[in-house]
Amino acid sequence: MSGETPALGMQDPERKPEETLSWSATLRADILRVAEQIAETEDRLAETLRHLASQHPREADRLRVKIDAAQACAAQARRMASDLQDRATAGSPAGDFLMLPRRRSAGP
């Protein structure tokens, strides 16, 4: 598992504050990038499901539920990224965005 960052509890307690801030900024940038990738994937999924719904009218109602869920997930990922960016700009601790409420399941 070379190249991976050890768990927080396993890290050097002698780490300098500026190293921690740099690491935090790197993680924040990674989270923002991944959140946007998730949103883009959900957008593509919704578009694919819309296409399927147009070709399979009998399944359109069921697919619309899944389209709505994909769009909601994309919006949530973008909100999380925006919240993290806003908090970083305001000087808030990097991890507090994790306290956002979880998405409710749209069902099977």
**What residue ranges do the domains of the chain occupy?**
41-90
Written as one letter, the residue type at 70 is A
Q: Which of 48, 99, 41 is nearest to 73 (CA)?
A: 41
Cα angle for residues 7, 96, 81 (degrees, 5° grid)? 95
pLDDT digits (tens, 9 = 90+) for 10-23: 566 677 888 888 88
pLDDT digits (tens, 9 = 90+) for 61-81: 999 999 999 999 999 999 999
pLDDT digits (tens, 9 = 90+) for 33-70: 999 999 999 999 999 999 999 999 999 999 999 999 99
Written as one letter, the residue type at 62 is R
CA distance 34 to 92: 20
